[in-house]
Structure 1
Amino acid sequence: MKAIVSALICLCLHNTYAQIRVLSVKNVAKEGVNNVALANDYERGNTAAVKEVMNKFSEVVASAFPKDPRPGISIFTQFYLNASGSVDYLIFDVRTGEGYNKDSLDEHSKMAFLAGFENWKVTKSPGRKFSVTSFQNIGKQPVIREVRRGDSSVVDLKSALVFHDTLKVKRLYLNQLELKTLPDVIYRFPNLEELYLGGNELKAVNINMQRLSKLTQLHLQGNQLTNSSFEISPNKTLALLNLKENKFDDIPNVVRESKKLAVLWLGGNPLSALSSRSFRKLKQVRDLNFYKSDIAVLPKGIKKMKNLEVLDLYYNKLEQLPNSIVRLKRLTHFAVSNNQLTSLPKKIDKLKNVHTFYAHHNHLSKLPERIVKMQKLKIMDLGYNWFTTFPAELTAFVNLQELDLSSNNFPDFPEQLLNIKRLDKLYLRGNPFLKEDAEKRYNQQLGLLKNKNIEVFY
């Protein structure tokens, strides 16, 4: 009788755990599971189902791991769920630094996931097999520092304090060291040309450029600096200033103290106070980066930057560009992607020196007529816009090498593409006319493009 009861218990346990298989990445092959086949067999989940799985995953992780482990832990997971919303397979990979036994950590993770997802179901299942991929960091992650080692470089604070031949040092790397204040040790190196202080916790910086009279590059990205906490003395050497991902709400006034400044990077700052006055006395700047800076309106005063060659406005909230932008006649690289633009300036042809133009992920449905005069264009990206008819203006460009029209709304193959005289690469992926039979249906047109030595991606 006892043997029967024991057998029934074992059978029940087997059935329970047969409902979900939890495997570490390194054991997938050993367990006879083909992860590639699974990925092909399960579709992507819908938004509601994915959100449920992610919320449950976060809940399980929070209960199974310390809140702030040192070193940090990274957990990658792939969920494969059946049509009823239950988890069939959970494949995971746990990564961390020194201080953990990897096998023990894997076993702990496996038991936590088994307990957390056993008999659990998605309430908003799409009614088909689907997969969800997730990645979560817990605690502080190990820092991989970016440094360039060499005879003229010092790469940490300890070395900087004891280094003897200070006159030969040209590059000082004090980045990603959790510095809270600017160390005076920087002034030990009077011939310093590049100073790297990014990825620290600096809330205030005041640099005496008279003591660093040869400094040409200053990198302060990823700190907590504001307009009132950043100071730099007048100089004629600084050429590159990297202030990305701080807390500036405007172009700092002290930037104007660097008379030779050519590169100014302010991306990742909340530039809410940007105005036309912000651009005064910056005529010498050639490269301006406003990437991901929450800019809804670009002030017309940008026209004051007469020597600007590179302008990066990626990932902002622009619905239109100021007409004054066409006054930037030396512009060669122009990036306005990932905004909400519905049109481009009518006199855009005044930007006659632009050869690289990125405007993907906007709401463009037509091009200004005068754009045909921009004959130096070599790369043009209009992907992920709202074009339903092919913009005929594109056929006028004789020097165009790359054209991206991916993920627009062309219902049929744009026949006018065949009129483009010269092109190296053409991207058409994600348009409605590219259905399963597209290659057969448009074989002639695609053939004509390829006969012109155009590499077509569709």
Structure 2
Amino acid sequence: MKIFFIVFLLAAGLQLVAQPVVLLQKDVSQTLSQKLKGEYQDVEGPVHQNPHSVQATFENIYRQILQTDKFKEYMAWNMLYLNAEGKIEYLVLSVTRGFRTADGKKEDISVADSLAAAVSTRLAPYLTDFVSRRTIGAKTAIVVFVSFHTQPTREPRARKDSVVNSLSEAMATKDTLKVKTLALGQNLLAGIPEVIYRFPNLEELFLGDNDLETVNLDMARLPKLRHLDLSKNILRDNSIAISKNKSLKLLNLQMNLITDIPRAARNCKKLETLWLGNNRMTGLTNGSFRKLIKVKDVNFYKAELAVLPKGIRKMRGLEVLDLYYNKLETLPKSITKLKRLTHFAVSHNQLTALPKRMDKLKNVHTLYAHHNHLSKLPDRITRMQALHIVDLGYNWLTIFPSELVAFTNLQELDLSSNNFPDFPAQLLQIRKLDKLHLRGNPFLGEDAGRKYSEQLSQLKKKNIEVFY
């Protein structure tokens, strides 16, 4: 009996040790605060946009701890510090009134503090089984907000025979031939349910914001599927299998854990749109782009790209290239081989120059290059007469690029927040323009309207709307 009691105590002790440390924000010492900031990576991107499963878990925990409907205007901020196994080591808690710090009113602060204290003493046992599968491999910090309010009753949506909006509805549907859209996002799915194959005429399948770690899709059983959304799951490079097909046109893989364009994309012989944003696409090579000649729109938004491989030229059918929010300092010369490109978006990078032979991109009509380090434009850009929109805001331009005067079809030009010390007189030579953005330049002081009234008047006479 004594031995049994000792074993029981040891087991209980181990369980207590395994529980996360729950602290109130106001009780976190400066030393611990520095330790947490130093050891746990505060990841931008999909980790901040909490998966539905994580949000649902915490909302359920709070419902068990509190009668949350009694505190409708309050919100709990749970800062989770996760170890490399995805388990919570520390949870730092604060409660506020809405998104504010309790409005500064004593009664609000008192209620908020009381709520935080009550919750903090009861949270730990509910957290022991929690695992953040998306952050496994690195010590990470994420924040989960829980609002104490009753969700408003929504008016029931008019049901369409062609649209199914839940797993239960999918299983209950009798006339399966009419269904063209199956929306199973935020259904806490860990695998693709077999029920999807009940709908042979399915054209759109939405599986976003679930916990899918593997996908094996038999397209022969979904011969009309053209739009597949697998965004915001836990998919990795070799965990996506899509059988060969000629129907799929759009594949959305944003907010997963892939590092390279998956082979599955190449099995979609008529794929036109491939969205890969908010992944860490650090595994791209020249070979990544092969057999994607039909793709017209590729999205690498916030994909942590420091280098874009020259193999991008293989995507010869590309019309839209989105490279927003990456770490690119240069672009490969081969990018000018994309002769069909119409939308070229390279904003929020660290580019110091655009490709010298950009003029080869003669079909580009929209150029977004704001928030870079550009101080001049390539000489031959003047040949890009298809340009309608040019955004060069938030760059390092100190001298007005004379090349801009050559464009005859320009509709909108953004030069906001550059470093022009004086009004660029060459702006008056622009022959055609609808909108001109100049805000945030040094020459625009408080009296800019008076000081440059003559120049602004000339622009307005040309029916140019000026934002300054």
Give the TM-score of the pair, scaled to structure 1: 0.72
The alpha-carbon distance between structure 1 residues 373 and 295, as it changes in their structure 2 partners (threshold 3 A), is same
The reply on whether 1:111 has 2:102 as its aligned counterpart is no
1:138 matched residue in structure 2 = 145
- Tell whether the 8 Å contact from 2:76 to 2:145 is kept in structure 1 after alignment: no
- Tell whether the 8 Å contact from 1:266 to 1:290 is kept in structure 2 after alignment: yes
Note the alpha carbon deviations across 1:6-43, whole angstroms, 9 max, x for none.
xxxxxxxxxxxxxxxxxxxxxxxxxxxxxxxxxxxxxx
- Deviation (angstroms), 1:115: 9.2
Partners of 1:392 and 1:453 in 2: how far apart?
Answer: 21
- Deviation (angstroms), 1:76: 11
1:382 matched residue in structure 2 = 392
The reply on whether 1:401 has 2:411 as its aligned counterpart is yes
Q: Secondary structure at the match of 1:187?
A: helix
Partners of 1:148 and 1:406 in 2: how far apart?
Answer: 46
Q: Secondary structure at the match of 2:458?
A: helix
Match of 2:450 among 440, 443, 454: 440
Give the TM-score of the pair, scaled to structure 2: 0.71
Note the alpha carbon deviations across 1:277-302, whole angstroms, 9 max, x for none.
00011111000000000000000000
- Deviation (angstroms), 1:322: 0.2
Q: Secondary structure at the match of 1:303?
A: helix
- Tell whether the 8 Å contact from 1:68 to 1:140 is kept in structure 2 after alignment: no
Partners of 1:346 and 1:245 in 2: how far apart?
Answer: 33
2:367 matched residue in structure 1 = 357
The alpha-carbon distance between structure 1 residues 359 and 170, as it changes in their structure 2 partners (threshold 3 A), is same
Partners of 1:107 and 1:175 in 2: how far apart?
Answer: 42
1:94 matched residue in structure 2 = 98
Q: Percent identity?
A: 58
The reply on whether 1:416 has 2:423 as its aligned counterpart is no
2:209 matched residue in structure 1 = 199
- Tell whether the 8 Å contact from 1:69 to 1:140 is kept in structure 2 after alignment: no
1:273 matched residue in structure 2 = 283
Question: Which aligned pairs between 1:277-316 and structure 2 lie closer than 5 A?
Answer: 277-316=287-326
Partners of 1:114 and 1:441 in 2: how far apart?
Answer: 55
Partners of 1:241 and 1:148 in 2: how far apart?
Answer: 28
- Deviation (angstroms), 1:143: 9.8
- Deviation (angstroms), 1:138: 2.5
Match of 1:175 among 185, 188, 202: 185
2:125 matched residue in structure 1 = none
Q: Secondary structure at the match of 2:220?
A: helix
Letter in structure 2 aligned against 1:69: Y
2:62 matched residue in structure 1 = 69
2:339 matched residue in structure 1 = 329
Match of 1:241 among 245, 248, 251: 251
Note the alpha carbon deviations across 1:326-356, whole angstroms, 9 max, x for none.
0000000000000000001100000000000
Partners of 2:361 and 2:287 in 1: how far apart?
Answer: 23
- Tell whether the 8 Å contact from 1:73 to 1:139 is kept in structure 2 after alignment: no
The alpha-carbon distance between structure 1 residues 76 and 341, as it changes in their structure 2 partners (threshold 3 A), is farther
- Deviation (angstroms), 1:419: 0.4
Residue segments in structure 2 that go unaligned for 5+ positions in a row = 1-32, 38-57, 78-95, 116-142
Partners of 1:360 and 1:268 in 2: how far apart?
Answer: 20
The alpha-carbon distance between structure 1 residues 67 and 366, as it changes in their structure 2 partners (threshold 3 A), is farther
Q: CA RMSD in A?
A: 3.0
Question: Which aligned pairs between 1:115-130 and structure 2 lie closer than 5 A?
Answer: none
Note the alpha carbon deviations across 1:214-242, whole angstroms, 9 max, x for none.
10000010101011111110101000000
Q: Secondary structure at the match of 2:62?
A: coil
Partners of 1:454 and 1:264 in 2: how far apart?
Answer: 37
Letter in structure 1 aligned against 2:255: E
Partners of 1:233 and 1:392 in 2: how far apart?
Answer: 52
1:251 matched residue in structure 2 = 261
Partners of 1:384 and 1:150 in 2: how far apart?
Answer: 47
The alpha-carbon distance between structure 1 residues 143 and 430, as it changes in their structure 2 partners (threshold 3 A), is farther
Residue segments in structure 1 that go unaligned for 5+ positions in a row = 1-50, 56-64, 78-91, 96-102, 117-135
Partners of 1:241 and 1:170 in 2: how far apart?
Answer: 17
- Tell whether the 8 Å contact from 1:309 to 1:333 is kept in structure 2 after alignment: yes
